[in-house]
Structures are given as structure tokens and as C-alpha cells.
Amino acid sequence: MTSLVEEPTVRRARSTGLLELQQLVVEYGSGKRRARAVDGVDLAVHEGEVLGLAGESGCGKTTIANAVMQILRPPGRITSGSILFEGENILGRSEKELRQYRWRNVSMVLQSAMNALNPVMRVGDQFVDAMRAHEKIDKRRALARTGELLELVGIDRRRVRSYPHQLSGGMRQRVVIAMALALEPELIILDEPTTALDVVVQREILQQVEALKRDFGFAVLFITHDLSLLLEFADRIAIMYAGEIVESAPAERLAASPQHPYTQGLLKSFPPLSGPLTPLTGIPGSPPDLRDPPGGCRFHPRCPHCLPEQADLYKRQTTERPKLRVIAAGHEVACHLVAEAVE
Amino acid sequence: MTAAAPLEVRSLTKRFPLGNAVRRSHVHAVDDVSFELRPGTITALVGESGSGKSTVARLLAHLYEPTAGTVLFEGNDVSHVRRRRDVLRYRSQVQMIFQDPFGSLNPVKTVRHHVERPLRLHHIVPSGQVEERVHELLRTVGLVPPEDVAAKYPHELSGGQRQRVAIARVLAVEPKVVLADEPISMLDVSIRIGILNLMTRLKEERGIAFLYVTHDLASARYVADDILVMYAGQIVEQGPIEDVLSAPLHPYTRLLLDAVPDPEAQTAAQRIEPNRGDASAAVDPAEGCRFRLRCPLAIDICSQTTPQLVEARPQQAARCHVTAPAN
């Protein structure tokens, strides 16, 4: 393998998505306690793009990440649907094939990744271990490449000899990002990568990810509860609520004309840092229990536009599940209030 | 508001020892911090992790004893009260809300138990009226119907509801000061505003003085009247929050503001690139500005003398040789 610093691989554009989820269903538990954490999700990540996936805790966004990495643990399981990577279904692949797929095709940076490092091993040795699990490479070359990777994320290469506790939280998170880059995957999943860090470090890290993405051309699935972060860093954003995608659109479009009442509520939950201050309301109520989700539209108990006075609409809202419909190029919404774009 | 400050802090200092007897060093977690909390106002205390903001809250809650400096409660020095009765009396006036609404409630006790206990401990109302007061408090924090909520256990509530129970428990003792340490950072985005609105209402209706400890500048601006910005144990800027955020004096405040994701700000060209710096500036600090290694404006004097808080604009003070020079 050539050095990844000198020759970033240029990849050809594809018409289909790099990663495609089709009607994915993931369940936990069984019988009465069964919960559908992900309920019929269609989602595509295209080459070289940053797709943001936003939603509140328990909406299923981390479950999607785990399903894509094929690291769901029982009682979690995929009960239907498919996950296509470069057009091929990865469900049903053998453990050996999956080991190649993980890290080489798709890698993941976890929420508390900074604690994912082994505290009693030098940083360099952990890289060497990870690389040698995937390819034949001698230790000296692996260490040299580790140095290059660390420099890519802005860490002095001499730090290969450091133990994790000698690094700050932000540095450890950067180390984990460097590790995710080690095998030049086509897709990196960032699951709340900066939630435990403060804003200044968060910005530094995200700017670094952007720069690396420009050089290497990988795609990013960026999962977070912080919609304001996605509006700045993502190309496209999908909003998840109670196991379903309720809206997806290019970032600027979502910010300018959000259609789903939940998206509108989320956007109104962030007070502005400049300009006039008006009282905000947030969203009344709290997310539903997925073991017993409300019928019809899952958001209807919290929706300001779901009123018994409008009997016809109310009946549909409370009994009929809205489907995702295209309302403009690249903009999909699942809401009874929104009419389909006229073809 | 002209009423006297219920809580005033003067030159508060807390050092934690590091290392062993041979190589002893100290983290100056809180260093010469002075401010006051006024009734009916919310004062935001912001800074990055490790800046000492939570230590300030804990010192005020009497969970730590200060190394130096004084805490005045209604004019009396309470920094060294030890007698259980005095501590209890102080704590009944100065209450704390914690970050984690999952860890701060007892999982095997009902909501009623949590709200009732302070009422009985501090003899707030005669026992005949306890039930009625519990319901009143639950209504105040928006947990309705109170009869149903009171019988629930913490696991039956959402994070936001749990934080409301924690607030009801705090209100039970009718405190004059409430210390809220990151009260919304573990809650879902859509319910955070509700808690902030509740704080605003309580400040207005009950004249409570709030200290709102947070790293989130936008939420601070939304609720607070005044702001204290901490860096490496020191207050580096303070003043009315609108003034500070619209025209920050200290370069660290500027850096914090620029780091907040703001899709509408088109000021990328003016952004200060954060210099590589060490956050350990509070360990046995030498003379000089603790922010100088990360500061784009640093000049010679910054490494020689520690800047003092200087009121460079009306009510707005900063600790910076360049933007708020001493006369």
C-alpha cells in the first residue's frame, strides 16, 4: 500500500449511493417489550458527502450506525430491510468478510471514543494492532504510518510513544479519528464525535475532519443531536423521530424552509447568539416510548398542528402513518400537512 | 433592582494539591474570584471544561471549603461555618441543581418522597399541609396533574420531567439563591427551552438569584442578565450579558463566541484561529496572563505581569493588557 499522505486516492463518482439503507427495521427485545428502534428507514449516503443524521436520544440514530457497522448486539437485531454498500447487501455476510468491510470500507468514531483507547498501551502500539488485524504490514512501517496519520490530525508524531492518559480529551478524540482513517475507508461514521468536548475543541476537530475529507474524499455519516452543528458542517440532513426519518433535505434548504413540524420545533429550540431574542417554546411533551408508539403519525401527540377541530385531518394524523414524499428536488417530508410536489 | 445581594463572593480561591510530598504542585482551580448574585437576576458562569466553573458552584454550595476568600450570605461570612445546624440553615437558602437528572433522584422513591423530604427536614410547613404544598410545587414546575406525578417513580419520567422534579425539590425550601450546574446539558434539545423558561419565570415570580453554570453561550444569552467568563480559574470578563456578547473585550470570550456553530454568521474571514495552547495554565501558574499562549493579541507584558480585571467600559470588565489596559 502506498503512503496515504502522498497520494490521496481519487475516487470516481457514482450515480448510486455509497451506502443505502432500504426499509431497514431494527428491533430490541421480544413480545410485549419489543421496541422498533428503527422502523422502515430509507437513507442514502453518496460518495464524498457529509450526511447529517439528527434526532433526540432514543430516536434510533445510534442504532442505525451500529447496524451499518454490523455491531448490533442481542437483543438488538435487524428484522427486515437491507443495507447496501457499493450496491451489495452486507446483511448475511460472514464474520470474516465483515472484518474486511469494517474499518477498510466503513469506520466509526464513537461518542466517547476518547475512552475507547486502551489505557495501558502506547498510542502507536494500538495503531499497529489495528493495522495488522487487517493487512500484512511490519511493525516499523506501521509505526511510520501512524506518525503520518497523527500529523494529519494535528498531533506531534512523537506522541506515538504516549499513553492515552498523557493526552487531553480533544487529543484523544483526534487520535481515534486518525485511527478511523488508517485504512482509508470510503465512509466514516461519526457518532456524536464532539459531544464530550467543549466548543473551541469541537470546532478545531470538525474543521480538521472537513480538511481531511477534502484531501481523501471519504463520505461522512455525522450523527448528532445538535442540529445547529449539522447546519454548518453537513451537506444534507436527515431528521429522525421515534425510529423514522421524518424529513431530509440539503442543509441550506432545511434551515431556510423546514416543512415537518418536528424539524421546525427543533430549529426553534436553539436560542440565537446574535440578533433579537424572542421567547422560544421548544417542543411540548417528550419523545414516545418505542415499545408502544402512538398510532398514526408518531409526532401527533406533540404536534401543534394536530387539532381535533379539523376532524378529517385529525383522523388521518392519528390513524394513518405518513409516508416520506418528495416535495422538491432532494427534499422529502413525512407529514400529512405537506402536499406532494406536483409532477 | 436595588436590593442587597443575598450572595457575595470576595477573592474566592480554591487550590487542589497534585503530585506527592516531594513534588508538590497545586491546581489553582479558582483564583481570586469576586462577584455577587442579585435577587431576581440570572448570572451565567461560562467557560470550557476545567476552567473552574463547577468548582465555583460547589464552593458556593458548601461542598468544598475555600482555600482563601470569603462567601458572604446576606452580609455574613459563611465560608467557614461548620456546625451542622448552620450548614443546614445555609443550605436551605442556597440550593443546587445538578447536571444529571438521572443520578440525582433516588430510583426506589416516588416523586412525592423527593419533594416532601426537604419540606419536613427544614420544617417549611406544618405536617398537615405537606401534601398540599407538594402538589403546589409540582404545579409550579409544570408537572401536571400533580396527584398522578407525585405517585410516580423516577424511571417512569423523562429526563426533562426528572429535572423538573429536581427543581421542585429545590424550590420546596424557598431558597434565595439557586446554583444550577449545567442543568440542561443532559436533556433532549426539544425540552431544554422549557427548563430555561422555567428558570426565567422563577426568577421573575420569586426573585430568586440564579447562578447558571454552562458552556453553552446561546442558552446563557437566552436566560441570563449578567455573565462571568472563566478561564483557567480566573474570571477574564464580566458584565451585562448583551454587552459582553455583542462586544467582547477579552480575546478568550471572542474565541468562545466564534467557536459556537452559527449557520447564519458569515464571518468566517474574521475568525480567530485558535492557537495551540495548553489548558493546564492553572497548574502552579507563573506571573503573567494565563491565556497568553493561545492569544492572538499577546504582547511582551502579557508574559511578565498578571492582568487585573479592569472596567474598560461601563459595568464591563476584562482581564487583558491589550483590550482593557490598567491606567
What ipTM was estimated for this complex? 0.78
Write the residue in B48, B160, B218 that is nearest to A200 by C-beta. B48
Antiparallel, parallel or unpaired: β A19-28 and B209-214: unpaired
Mean pLDDT across the stretch B192-202? 92
Q: What is the pTM of this model?
A: 0.84
Best of B189, B229, B275, B276 to substitute, by most chain A Cβ atoms within 10 angstroms, is B189
Q: Is A271 close to B191, i.e. CB distance below 8 A? A: no
B256 interfacial to chain A (CB closer than 8 Å): yes
Tell me if B99 sits within 8 A of B186, measured CB to CB. yes
A341 pLDDT band, cuts 50/70/90, is low
Q: pLDDT tens across A256-299, in order?
A: 999 999 999 998 888 888 888 888 888 888 888 888 889 999 99
A277 interfacial to chain B (CB closer than 8 Å): yes
Half-sphere exposure of B143 (CA within 13 A, CB side): 30
Q: Say whether pLDDT at A14 is over 70.
A: no
Residues of chain B with C-beta less than 8 angstroms from the C-beta of A270: 189, 218
For A252, the closest chain B residue by CA position comes to B263
Write the residue in B218, B265, B274 that is nearest to A271 by C-beta. B218
For A284, the closest chain B residue by CA position comes to B191
B144 interfacial to chain A (CB closer than 8 Å): no
> Distance (Å, rounded) from C-alpha B70 to C-alpha B77?
6
In chain B, the domains with their CATH numbers are 7-260+282-318 (3.40.50.300)
Q: Is A201 close to B256, i.e. CB distance below 8 A? A: no
Q: pLDDT tens across B258-313, in order?
A: 888 766 654 443 444 554 545 557 778 888 999 998 888 999 999 999 999 999 99
Mean pLDDT across the stretch A58-67? 90
Q: Say whether pLDDT at A16 is over 70.
A: no
Residues of chain B with C-beta less than 8 angstroms from the C-beta of A265: 190
For A187, list phi and psi in degrees, rounded to 5: -135, 135
Cα angle A199-A202-A205, degrees, rounded to a multiple of 5 = 155
Q: Where does B94-151 have alpha helices with state H?
A: 111-121, 130-140, 146-150
Q: pLDDT tens across B116-174, in order?
A: 999 998 888 999 999 999 999 999 998 888 999 999 999 888 888 899 999 999 999 99
User: For residue B17, what are the β-bridge partners?
Assistant: B26
Closest listed residue to residue A299, CA positions, set A314, A318, A326, A280 = A318
B156 interfacial to chain A (CB closer than 8 Å): no
Antiparallel, parallel or unpaired: β A187-191 and A106-109: parallel
**Complete DSSP assignment for B19-77:** E-SSSEEEEEEEEEEEEEE-TT-EEEEE--TTSSHHHHHHHHTTSS--SEEEEEETTEE
Residues of chain A with C-beta less than 8 angstroms from the C-beta of B191: 282-283, 286
Q: Mean pLDDT across chain A, nearest whole number?
A: 87
Residues of chain A with C-beta less than 8 angstroms from the C-beta of B190: 56, 265-266, 269, 282-283, 286-287
* Nearest-10 crossing angle of helices A123-134, A169-181: 20
Q: Say whether pLDDT at B184 is over 50.
A: yes
| pLDDT value of position A143 | 92
> Distance (Å, rounded) from C-alpha A110 to C-alpha B161?
28
B18 interfacial to chain A (CB closer than 8 Å): no
Write the residue in B188, B192, B264 that is nearest to A287 by C-beta. B188
Note the maximum CA span of chain B.
69
For A273, the closest chain B residue by CA position comes to B218
B40 interfacial to chain A (CB closer than 8 Å): no
| pLDDT value of position A276 | 87
- State how far the alpha carbon of A224 is from the alpha carbons of A56, A249, B93, in Å: 8, 16, 39
Q: Is A225 close to B188, i.e. CB distance below 8 A? A: yes
| pLDDT value of position B187 | 82
* CB-CB neighbours of A148 under 10 Å: 15
A201 interfacial to chain B (CB closer than 8 Å): yes
| pLDDT value of position B23 | 76
| pLDDT value of position B1 | 42
| pLDDT value of position B260 | 84
Tell me if B143 sits within 8 A of B164, measured CB to CB. yes
Closest listed residue to residue B88, CA positions, set B54, B112, B123, B39 = B123
Q: Using DSSP, state whether B236 is helix, strand or coil.
A: strand
CA-based nearest distance B157→chain A, Å? 10
Q: pLDDT tens across A171-180, in order?
A: 888 899 899 9
Half-sphere exposure of B14 (CA within 13 A, CB side): 24
CA-based nearest distance A232→chain B, Å? 5
Mean pLDDT across the stretch B113-118? 94
User: For residue A331, what are the β-bridge partners?
Assistant: A328
Please give the distance of CA A85 from its chain centroid, rounded to a whole number.
15
Mean pLDDT lowest for which of A282-286, A305-309, A325-329, B298-302?
A282-286
| pLDDT value of position A340 | 60
Number of continuous H segments (helices) and E segments (strands) in chain B: 10, 12
> Distance (Å, rounded) from C-alpha A84 to C-alpha B257?
41
Residue with cell 480529551: A169
CA-based nearest distance A287→chain B, Å? 8
For A168, the closest chain B residue by CA position comes to B279
CA-based nearest distance A168→chain B, Å? 9
* Nearest-10 crossing angle of helices B159-172, B130-140: 130
Antiparallel, parallel or unpaired: β B226-231 and B209-214: unpaired
> Distance (Å, rounded) from C-alpha A180 to C-alpha A152?
12
**Complete DSSP assignment for A164-195:** GGGS-HHHHHHHHHHHHHTT--SEEEEESTTT
Tell me if A290 sits within 8 A of A241, measured CB to CB. no
Residues of chain A with C-beta less than 8 angstroms from the C-beta of B49: 169, 197-198
For B217, the closest chain A residue by CA position comes to A273
Q: Is A271 close to B188, i.e. CB distance below 8 A? A: no
Q: Is A232 close to B189, i.e. CB distance below 8 A? A: no
| pLDDT value of position B205 | 94
> Distance (Å, rounded) from C-alpha B168 to C-alpha B184?
15
Q: Is A231 close to B246, i.e. CB distance below 8 A? A: no
Q: Look up residue B174 and give its DSSP letter.
A: -
Closest listed residue to residue B209, CA positions, set B319, B52, B93 = B93
Q: pLDDT tens across A231-255, in order?
A: 989 999 999 999 999 999 999 999 9
Beta-carbon contacts below 8 Å between A and B? 104
B113 pLDDT band, cuts 50/70/90, is very high
Q: Using DSSP, state whether B169 is helix, strand or coil.
A: helix
Write the residue in B49, B193, B258 that is nearest to A282 by C-beta. B193
User: For residue B39, what are the β-bridge partners?
Assistant: none
Q: Mean pLDDT across chain B, nearest whole number?
A: 88
Q: Is A269 close to B192, i.e. CB distance below 8 A? A: yes
Mean pLDDT across the stretch A207-218? 90
Best of B193, B198, B253 to substitute, by most chain A Cβ atoms within 10 angstroms, is B193
> Distance (Å, rounded) from C-alpha A308 to C-alpha B141?
27
B265 interfacial to chain A (CB closer than 8 Å): yes
Q: Using DSSP, state whether A44 is helix, strand or coil.
A: strand
Q: pLDDT tens across B25-55, in order?
A: 888 889 999 999 999 999 999 988 778 898 9
